[in-house]
A = this chain, B = another copy of it.
């Protein structure tokens, strides 16, 4: 099982700690980090890299030339930005040829988001975020930017504002914006992810346009994270990049982020911004001073992104078929567990991303975030890492993100343990119910 949160490699028994030497904000950032991520250990297992290694270990990959060892262009070496522009033009299906001058490369998608939030928002400005939303950006916003993320809760239930579960309706955005304005908050942007993480859904083209039009009407920037765009493994699903649209409602306020996840190389530490706004590129540039990528890594990345033949003929087919297989296996095991335990584990996933969003609230008694944490810890006792809903700012307790991008043997072992954890939790749940009856 895997996660996209920072891994805490030390055990701080105290979530909140006082220090005689740290600043208040130092303590605040630390406390947030360790209270949210202290349970995670560095994920050191392998995934599908035997495929990648064959490319990355070629002899001519070990190339060093002088400029790679010197200060880089702070937006990324031009040779790499040119390759990125070509790569995005092709894989995003852009109607125009994308330009290297609109590309900024920093050392992670979160660093891109952090710098972007700095140059688009002033302290205490706000950004709307449909939740659940992946925790990396949420955490990044807390470190440097002082930008408030206003969650727009997208619920699992069908209500009068939601005709479908987890559907982000424009009405919800309008309402959230209105409420924020009533509280005198300056809302500067809307943060989206497509494919969504943790929901594993892609936006319909029409919805995407609606979000962009809503943003334009309200003069909001749209920051759209397309990190998993190449991890749509079900061929019947069509992913529409925002860069594929014939025309953008507000090109100067539309900013796309993409990074290392589609190649499973988070250790490369890179993230890419594509924006048509020259001022934004210009203002992002100084941030390369604090967030740039080593020249030798930039060189390898160019080689990787530039080998389209290898990506199309070797990497993507293998990666997608493995993801499909792992996904199918996990779905099957979840169905078996439902039969075994006699309750429905509602799960969301339509065949993209590396994860399934599952609902285990039937195992919580009472259904609270405290009990969600108990279940999370139970998974950890079984050496399973499942990110819990709370870290995605989701308001309904009991949801978890289950990563399935794993070798079949490890996945079988993981699902066995998952079953054991569920079994234990069920016993715990029965015990709690009995106690409740006794005391009531």
Contacts and interface: CB of A to CB of B under 8 A. Distances in A.
Interface of A: 6-10, 12, 17, 19-27, 29-30, 32-34, 42-47, 49, 52-53, 56-57, 59, 61-62, 64, 66-75, 107-108, 110-111, 114, 118-123, 125, 136, 139-140, 143-144, 188, 221, 252-253, 264-270, 277, 279-280, 282-283, 285-297, 300
A98 to B, nearest CB: 18
Contacts of A280: 21-22
Contact of A110 (B43, B289, B297): B289
Contacts of A300: 296
20 contacts: A7-B71, A19-B279, A20-B252, A21-B252, A21-B277, A22-B279, A26-B118, A43-B70, A44-B70, A52-B69, A57-B62, A61-B62, A62-B62, A107-B107, A108-B292, A110-B290, A143-B286, A144-B290, A269-B295, A293-B294
Given A25-B123, A66-B44, A289 B74 contact: no
A274 to B, nearest CB: 15
How many copies of this chain does one complex carry? 2
Contacts of A68: 267
Nearest to A277: B21
Given A107-B292, A285-B33, A294-B269, A23 B120 contact: yes
Given A57-B62, A280-B21, A269 B285 contact: no
A143 B287 contact: yes
Given A6-B288, A107-B107, A118-B144, A26 B283 contact: yes
Nearest to A66: B46
A180 to B, nearest CB: 17
Contacts of A267: 67-72, 294-296
A144 B117 CA distance: 11
A177 to B, nearest CB: 18
Given A21-B280, A30-B282, A297-B297, 11 more contacts: A6-B71, A17-B279, A49-B69, A62-B62, A69-B264, A69-B266, A107-B269, A107-B293, A144-B144, A268-B295, A296-B300
